[in-house]
Structure 1
Amino acid sequence: MPETSTVATPEQDARRRRSIAWVVVLSAAALVFDGYDLVVYGTVVPVLLADPSHLGTVTPAQAGTLGSYALVGVLVGALAAGAVGDRIGRRKVMLVNLAWFSVGMGVTATTESVATFGLFRFFTGIGVGALVATVGALVAEVAPPGQRNRYNAIVYSGVPAGGVLAALTAIALGDSIGWRGLFWIGALPIVVLLPLAIRFLPESPKWLVARGRLADAEAVSRRTGIPVPAPEAVLEDSTEEKVGFPALASRRFAFPTALLGLMSFAGLLLTYGLNTWLPQIMGEQGYGKNHALTFLLVLNLAAIGGGLVASYVADRVGARRVVATTFVLAALSLAVLPLSMPAAVLFLAVGLAGVGTIGTQVLVYGLVSNYYPTNARAAGVAWCAGFGRLGGIVGPIIGGVLVGAGVGGSTAFQLFAAVSLAGAAVALAVPRPAHAESRRTDLVPGEVRSTVTA
């Protein structure tokens, strides 16, 4: 089966750009609601702590635990998606979990007790975890060569963008629609995103080739313009024919997989810890409710801009060094947050903390998405998202314990700074990827490779 190449017509090239744009837009939009779910809980924590008429009495320690229930669900969802995503495909996992997540958010809005609220936070988290674990694999497999970190950063910037949406919505509408209305907004994907995804989201041709479905890959390529990679470029990295999590446990990937998991653990501990407790900590330092929510807004807006700039650099110098640098930036900014500073300097420090924490995690997903071959990519991103969520579970709990003990925000920020430095050290220890897909020159835009029978 020799390989032939053809140059795409302008129409085919336009179709390819349009198809990739749909993948990026739909993936980013899905993650906007992941970020919305993350931050909207932080915006309602002060309400739940102050008024027991909503769910009953909620202590700071309980609030931290409730914040962690969704993250346990994310862990379950990510690992489940990793177990099946490399076998059944990226598209099916995304469609199912867009609906799953939306139903969970809607039902959460109707809960009347702490127990049921926590249960459906867990349920919602399963859908979130599956989406986070899948979109990185899909985007990495359709993104143009040399731009994968940038495309992944655009998609995963949906998480802080969702945080911005949640903060703005809480400031503008929180008093009028209440916390239940804020959660109902999170149920919108089943109405606005799922129909579009069913119509426009393609399967990954690279995944189809990895599963030996060459005819299906060609059909997707003809419809979308997304090129089909040469089979030998994908299949020679079968990792002894292991697929998914067994491939991660192979001798070649076991050590870097452990390090990538620890790196994501640090990034998500910082991301969830700050998003859950920053409004409350700043409120205790004398800032009013809207001021405290504005800190969340600055944190997530800076993460979007900083993450995109850093991803551009990562495509040129390598993601590992950039991730280590942004972790160090987080440590420096977090260390100075408890200090008495003018408002402008304080907001700058919060913005740099957003780049170094949430922005770093955006880069981590890009690094992991491009680290593994096709037969293990979804499992690798799932491991990163799933194991990392253990850090996301620990972060809100640590914040809750410290706030409940009356220690204040200073200790929490110092602890988060230490975690940032540890994350930088782990990032530098990750070995370079050695699989063939990372060494080959991918197809240039406009080139479509197909296999024909001689």
Structure 2
Amino acid sequence: MSEPTPALERRRRRTVAWVVALSTAALVFDGYDLVVYGTVVPTLLGDPSHLGAMTPTQAGTLGSYALIGVLVGALAAGAVGDRIGRRKVMLVNLAWFSVGMALTATTHSVQTFGFFRFLTGVGVGALVATVGALVAEFAPPGQRNRYNAIVYSGIPAGGVLAALVALGFGDTIGWRGLFWVGALPIVVLLPLAWFLLPESPKWLVARGRIADAERISARTGLPVPAPELHVPDKVGFPALATRDYAFPTFLLGMMSFAGLLLTYGLNTWLPQIMGEQGYGKSWSLAFLLILNLGAIIGGLAASFFADRLGAKRVVVSTFVLAAITLALLPLDLPSVVLFAAVALAGVGTIGTQVLIYGMVSNYYPTTARAAGVAWCAGFGRLGGIVGPIVGGVLVGAGVGGSTAFQLFAAVSLVGALVTSLVPRTRHVEQAPVEQQEPVAVGSTVTA
């Protein structure tokens, strides 16, 4: 039995820190893309000189184009991620996403704006699906929910960034400038990821590439993982259809559907709904800021309990929290109480989706992990598509925010019920090779 040296341990910690930092930064821009559209909707609705005349229903549908792209990108990444690796998918889609944001900033019609929003969504979906698998395979055992929460908190952090940029510079750089900001990953993140993001040793071992895993282990200080137990023979999406994973996969997809319906519905329409209730533009954007700040702080706090009590229990609790706070928002609450309710709603909606990604990425074995997270991100995005459309229909019909918030509260309760039905996972991980008695690792793993 061998123990890692202090030098190897320092190298391992540095590698994991870079993986977490790069993954978080990538998802910050995902969250930026999510929220920046909500910040420009009032401008596009109020001034047809930008893209042409637009109704609230059309704006809701237009906001869903990016989500359709996310669905396509997530499923595409899931189809190839378990076969070609995590690193390649990350690099390609950092560039893809950035180009999509830049092209969106140059559009002058509703049709081209919608098309490039879809194109951007493809890159976003691939990143969201891949990051969960990547972090689950680099995070230390017993801290995976926390690491996933840190990384996926990049999404609401991007929402905070979008709200701050819109508040501070929106009048100066205009809506086009806000989208140009979203194109920065190609010059900021992509070069760093190219040099500092290694392939997952766990994925290499699962694919039978032991020599490659050992080479990366020597360079990064990461342990060479032992083969997993109770792993399906099939790889990728076919593994999700096996007897052990078919029903849980359906439930996990429905959880994500509920979580993303709430996330996208609120981020797209909260400024508009609160504006119609008498709050000015700055106040409406402040609510968006508080919603996402609550998601970051609450999601990180909840992940601490998820590692100790189990993610399932915590997700059920945060879904119920969302239902309670969303039901309170239409009431005539004092300002302090209203801001607190919005923050807690962020915990129960966006924060819950952060926890769902962590739960899903740790549920599946390595040979199906990218596909499982992709299914969660892809099928869940159908909920993200429905959320803005429903909000747009309700606002366009003049129903008001009260009905929208009540509907979102009901979705939260359904999410809690579905989560409670998810069975325990069957796949089992062994300790890393250097923590076991010396064994011929190559003799126990097949390609």
Aligned residue type for 2:305: V
**Partners of 2:128 and 2:403 in 1: how far apart?**
31
**Partners of 2:158 and 2:432 in 1: how far apart?**
33
Q: What SS does the corresponding residue of 2:423 show, helix, strand or coil? A: coil
**Partners of 1:376 and 1:453 in 2: how far apart?**
21
Aligned residue type for 1:283: G
Say which of 202, 205, 223 aligns to 1:206. Answer: 202
Aligned to 2:155: 159
Aligned length: 443
Say which of 287, 294, 300 aligns to 1:295. Answer: 287
TM-score by length of 2: 0.97
1:248 is the counterpart of 2:277: no
Aligned to 2:381: 389
Distance 1:100 1:285, change over 3 A: same
Aligned to 1:365: 357
TM-aligned CA deviation for residue 449 of structure 1? 8.0
TM-aligned CA deviation for residue 434 of structure 1? 1.2
Contact residue 224 and residue 434 of structure 2 kept, 8 A: no
Q: CA-to-partner distance for each residue in 1:359-401, whole Å, 9 max, x for gaps?
A: 0000000000000000000000000000000000000000000
**Partners of 2:171 and 2:69 in 1: how far apart?**
29
Say which of 120, 140, 143 aligns to 2:139. Answer: 143
TM-aligned CA deviation for residue 436 of structure 1? 2.0
Matches within 5 A, 1:270-309: 270-309=262-301
Say which of 379, 388, 392 aligns to 1:400. Answer: 392
Q: CA RMSD in A?
A: 1.5
Say which of 59, 72, 79 aligns to 1:63. Answer: 59
Distance 1:53 1:264, change over 3 A: same
Aligned residue type for 2:340: L
Give percent identity, aligned residues only: 77
Aligned residue type for 1:381: V
Q: CA-to-partner distance for each residue in 1:37-85, whole Å, 9 max, x for gaps?
A: 0000000000000000000001100000010000000000000000000
Matches within 5 A, 1:126-275: 126-230=122-226, 233-234=227-228, 236-239=229-232, 241-275=233-267
Q: What SS does the corresponding residue of 1:7 show, helix, strand or coil? A: coil
TM-aligned CA deviation for residue 154 of structure 1? 0.1
TM-aligned CA deviation for residue 448 of structure 1? 11
Distance 1:168 1:29, change over 3 A: same
Aligned to 2:34: 38
Contact residue 227 and residue 449 of structure 1 kept, 8 A: no
Contact residue 44 and residue 54 of structure 2 kept, 8 A: yes
Say which of 57, 69, 72 aligns to 1:73. Answer: 69
Aligned to 1:50: 46
Distance 1:453 1:426, change over 3 A: closer
Q: Unaligned 5+ residue runs, structure 2? A: none
**Partners of 1:451 and 1:389 in 2: how far apart?**
43
1:88 is the counterpart of 2:80: no
TM-aligned CA deviation for residue 237 of structure 1? 3.7
Distance 1:452 1:293, change over 3 A: closer
**Partners of 2:289 and 2:6 in 1: how far apart?**
42
**Partners of 2:437 and 2:400 in 1: how far apart?**
59
Matches within 5 A, 1:335-354: 335-354=327-346
Say which of 114, 121, 135 aligns to 1:125. Answer: 121
**Partners of 2:155 and 2:437 in 1: how far apart?**
33
**Partners of 1:435 and 1:337 in 2: how far apart?**
42
TM-aligned CA deviation for residue 184 of structure 1? 0.1
**Partners of 1:11 and 1:72 in 2: how far apart?**
46
4+ aligned runs moved over 3 Å, structure 1? 442-454
Q: CA-to-partner distance for each residue in 1:274-327, whole Å, 9 max, x for gaps?
A: 000000000000000000000000000010000000000000010001000000
Aligned residue type for 1:183: F
TM-aligned CA deviation for residue 229 of structure 1? 1.0
Contact residue 227 and residue 448 of structure 1 kept, 8 A: no
Q: CA-to-partner distance for each residue in 1:113-154, whole Å, 9 max, x for gaps?
A: 000000000000000000000000010011001000000000
**Partners of 1:449 and 1:66 in 2: how far apart?**
58
Aligned residue type for 2:262: L
Distance 1:400 1:445, change over 3 A: farther
TM-aligned CA deviation for residue 435 of structure 1? 1.3
Contact residue 210 and residue 442 of structure 2 kept, 8 A: no
Q: CA-to-partner distance for each residue in 1:398-445, whole Å, 9 max, x for gaps?
A: 0000000000000000000000000000011000111122xx4x4499
**Partners of 1:306 and 1:314 in 2: how far apart?**
12
**Partners of 2:4 and 2:109 in 1: how far apart?**
58
**Partners of 1:292 and 1:65 in 2: how far apart?**
21
TM-aligned CA deviation for residue 179 of structure 1? 0.2
Say which of 431, 434, 441 aligns to 2:426. Answer: 434
